[in-house]
Structure 1
Amino acid sequence: MKIFKRILLLLAVIVIITVIYNYPKLNILSGYSAKSTASSVFLGERTLEFTDKTDNNFSPVNLATDKIDVKNKIAISSAFGLLTRKAIYREGLGAVLTLDDSDEKATYLVPKRLKADITTPFPYGNAPQKDTVFTNVNYNKLNKTVSSIFGKNDSRAVVVIYKDQIISEKYTDGFHKNSRILGWSMTKSIMSTVFGVLQHQNKINVQDVAPINSWQNDARKDITINNLLQMNSGLEWDENYNEISDATKMLFLERDMTKMQEEKPLKYKTNASWNYSSGTSNLLSSILRTQFNTHQEYLDFWYTDFIDKIGMNSMVVETDLAGNYVASSYAWATARDWAKFGLLYLHNGNWNGEELFNKDWVDYVTTPTATSNGTYGAQFWLNAEKQFKDVPKNMYFADGYQGQRVYVLPDEELVVVRFGLSHFDENIFLKEIIEAIK
């Protein structure tokens, strides 16, 4: 009997130690699931069942149990009943993880949006496009290529635009042209563009030193906005999503996601070592905040001077609890609206006759960061060293987790958008699309 009690005690101790050791992981696990569920259900307008079956079905997130409160727009996720996290949905701001009960009752400023143009044909408005049949396009080959990355590759949406016309478009079951889809790190390219618009308006110069007060008494005072945009500031950062890291702590445990990178020390010499950092992108979001007199102006500008101005009216860039746009990860929009973003760059910042920025900005974001081996510009990814060997060197793209992409191919007058849940052979995909229009 004593031996049995000792075994039970030992097992209890083992369970307690295991829970304590894994508690931080459970916090992030349930946090990811709650945030994903709230955004998918209330912003993406998908069902809880669909979300659990698709977006939350990978290990270890699938170990969480998810519930939703439809009336109050809250998602609740529990990790083995040991730790529960909540995410609330706020109209105009998207979903956010709460850190205490007061967050559910707090009031928030909401961005003012421009009215959608429903009379002008796509792409410059949201009315149906005026279809044009291009004699040089092999539509059978094109549609076969597009269809090839559905099914086993978990693609959700593909839109191909040639000379301002959608020439191929496909969605998997459960998605359609009005479905908002998360761009993940493509949000970084959205944020970079806000800098481009501000620079074109002569309100900022990205070559200036970053306006961060806490850096003024140490070596970080010489870091420029450009260094941050190019990810070569030299600041310490751990971008790892397979364990507890700077990136996961920032996204799932922080009230103000802009602070973690600001508080990091220099690890390398500035402008001498490239290090991909979602923390840097959120720090850049806070730098944008300093350019405006009020928080309301900061919230509005992204939409009034850029996003809504080019008719990306479906887009919602989610904010953290402190009201900062989560520039690293959380922009949602339809595939067609993401394609408009690509078109803005294809046209060198000119949107239907109005210049939001000019070719100088396009040249800037597509100039390789010296320390990135030709793969990275200013929050855009590049093909400068022919990483995609059968695709032109001047192709560049916005890149998000699991293969979210907006490709811009200037020579071919092409924009290609792809959304999905897994990676695919991008080189072959783009190569065959290019071949279909020659």
Structure 2
Amino acid sequence: MKKRIVSSFVLPLAVATFAAQGQESDTTINAYAAGYVAGYTCSATFNANKSEAAIREHELTGIYSLVADKVAAMKAMVDRENKLVRVAYDDGQRERISVWRPRLGCVDLPVGATIADADKVSRPFADSAVEKDSGEPWQERQPVNHVTGNLELDGVIQKAFSKHYGAGARTTAILIATPEKIIAENYLDGFTPETSQRTWSVAKSIAASVVGAAVLHRNVDVKASANVANWRSALDPRRNITLEHLLHMASGLDSNAAGNRTDRVYMGGGRVIDTATTTALEVTPGTRWKYANNDTMLAMRAVREGFENADDYLKFPYDMLLDKIGMAHTFLETDWNDDFIMSSQVWTTARDLARLGVLHVQNGMWKGERVLPENWLTYISTPAPAQPPESSPGYGAQWWLYNERFPELPNDTIAARGNRGQFLVIIPSENLVVVRRGYDMAGEPGFNEHDFVRDVLKALK
């Protein structure tokens, strides 16, 4: 068998740390750290209803080394009445602010914004109480944190909450399901079916699903030019970048040494249109696979270009995807310009991810209604022309492919994979969805989803 990767993100993180430290000043890195604390505290408080101690333990430890030490020394001021978080930095001379909005979660204001700017963010959704998870569509549900009666499977799940699948693993949730039944559902103490976590790059596969909904409902053509406004000059070769190139991680754009580090947007309060749309081509679109957060953000920006106003765009993923399949505890966060940061900044639950998996197992159908195009599962599962190295899973359209490179899993296995051990694995031939959530430690071997899913399959046989 070919060599398997143990953790998807250890090497890119190491590379990115040196790159970032060579580019940003101390003041900027301080602003990043304050933005990290503000954003995560805001989202974990108002999306997930977590305590200050739990936020410190989970969201703010074991993180990106560039800001880890600075984050540890910073204090968040949580304003529950106005649903925002403030974090001072540079000896109190400056502060970063993150503001919560219904359904959209938290938005980080730019460096230099003041508390007076908090009311300026758009709010297309009315505030309403989030209800307890209904448990739909599953007709049968294994009680939460109960044994399944399958001794081998129970042993595998128990190992998942240990260091067995990775020395740096910190598992918070395991959910194994078919479209009809939740076979197993287990959580770390303090977590429930309503506890959302950041998806990190699992969001990319959610973004692809939104694109699929746009293909179905808005006649979006993935083969057409992405038509980003910043690239429309007749002399601009970026006009040749298609939406499909972006979905395939094959834009050819310069995304720095480590394309999975987009600190200016993720922590710095930057806008997608000021960062992702401004880089130049390095190679011809479609000829190189390179993992790049910007490609996902640009794919969503390409969809937005077809909307006349921001509110309609912001509501579209909810109206045409999330609400249709019951993903009621999912928050798609944006920059302050109302561009979705769906390369990473989505907060959701294990059950909501499983619902997305079931939608794909059912080939885009939900309770008799078509939510995704009929061929969408085939489309996202088809290997892109340019592929990652053979030590990695293959790549389709914003989904990872465990194809012939990994003979211990069925050839149609696909996965959404995110930093700190977020995984949604879909095996259509087995009618199976596997979700794992965690807070794996940066710089240590993370949770090995391949071995876990292999062991789950053996146990279910």
Tell me whether the two structures share a fold, i.e. TM-score over 0.5: yes
Identity level (%): 27
Map of 1:285 onto structure 2: 300
Please point out which of 191, 194, 199 is paired with 2:215. 199
| Equivalent in 342, 348, 353 of residue 327 of structure 1 | 342
Which digits, 9 at most, give the CA deviation of each residue in 1:141-193, with x for residues without a partner? 11221121114421001110035210101000110111112111111111111
Show the 5 A alignment for 1:11-410: 21-58=25-62, 59-60=68-69, 61-79=71-89, 81=91, 83-99=94-110, 100-101=113-114, 102-111=116-125, 122-124=135-137, 129-131=139-141, 139-152=150-163, 153-201=169-217, 203-216=219-232, 217-238=235-256, 240=258, 247-373=262-388, 375-386=394-405, 388-410=406-428
Corresponding residue for 1:7? Answer: none
Deviation of the 1:354 alpha carbon = 1.0
Q: What letter matches 2:154 in structure 1?
A: N
Q: Is the 1:281–1:328 contact (alpha carbons within 8 Å) kept by the matching residues of 2?
A: yes
Cα distance in 2 for residues equivalent to 1:116 and 1:353 = 26
What amino acid is aligned across from residue 285 of structure 1 in structure 2? Answer: M
User: Offset of 1:351 from its aligned partner?
Assistant: 0.9
SS in 1 for 2:324: coil
Contact kept? 2:276, 2:294, Cα under 8 Å: yes
How far, CA to CA, are the matches of 1:169 and 1:22 in structure 2? Answer: 44
Q: Say yes or no: does 1:427 pair with 2:450.
A: yes
Q: How far has the Cα of 1:87 moved from its partner?
A: 1.4
1: distance between equivalents of 2:309 and 2:127?
Answer: 17
For these two proteins, the number of residue pairs brought into alignment is 408
- Alpha carbons of structure 1 residues 367 and 41: separation in structure 2 relative to 1, 3 Å: same
RMSD: 2.6
Unaligned runs of 5+ in 1: 1-19
Kindly state the Cα deviation for residue 253 of structure 1 after the two structures are TM-superposed.
2.4
Tell me, which stretches of 5 or more residues in structure 2 are unaligned? Answer: 1-23, 63-67, 164-168, 441-445
Q: Give the C-alpha shift of residue 319 in structure 1.
A: 1.6
SS at match of 1:416: strand
8 Å Cα contact 2:200/2:343 also seen in 1 = yes
1:123/1:164 contact within 8 Å kept: no
- Whether the 8 Å contact between 2:142 and 2:182 is mirrored in structure 1 is no
Q: Rate the CA distance shift 1:150–1:270 in 2: closer, same or farther, 3 A.
A: same
The structure-2 alpha-carbon separation of the partners of 1:118 and 1:107, relative to structure 1 and needing over 3 Å to count, comes to closer
Contact in 1 for aligned 2:132/2:194 (Cα 8 Å): no
Match of 2:19 in 1: none
Structure number with greater Rg is 1
Q: Report the CA distance shift for 1:227/1:392 in structure 2 as closer, same or farther (over 3 A).
A: same
- Return the offset for 1:95: 1.0
Contact 2:264-2:270 at 8 Å conserved across structures: no
Contact 2:175 2:184 (C-alpha < 8 Å) held by counterparts: yes
Query: Residues 239, 306 of structure 1: CA spacing in aligned structure 2 closer, same or farther, 3 A cutoff?
Result: farther
Amino acid across the alignment from 1:148:
K
* Contact 2:200 2:419 survives alignment (8 Å): yes
Higher relative contact order (CA 8 A, sep 6+): 2
CA contact (8 A) 2:199 2:347 kept: yes
Are the counterparts in 2 of residues 65 and 80 from structure 1 also a CA contact under 8 Å? no
Partner of 1:253, secondary structure, is coil
| Equivalent position SS for 2:429 | coil
Distance in 1, matches of 2:257 and 2:356, equals 26
How many angstroms does 1:397 deviate by?
0.9
Q: 1:308 is paired with a residue of what secondary structure?
A: helix
Instruction: Check 1:115–1:173 CA distance in 2 against 1; reply closer, same or farther (3 A cut).
Output: closer
In the alignment, the residues of structure 2 paired with residue 305 and residue 35 of structure 1 have an alpha-carbon distance, to the nearest angstrom, of 27
Contact 2:102 2:123 in 1 (8 A): no
After TM superposition, the structure 1 stretch with the greater mean CA deviation from structure 2, 205-214 or 368-377, is 368-377
Equivalent-residue separation in structure 2 for 1:353 and 1:314 (angstroms): 23
Q: Name the CA distance, whole Å, in 1 between partners of 2:76 and 2:439.
A: 20
Aligned residues of 2:108 and 2:269 also touching (Cα < 8 A): no
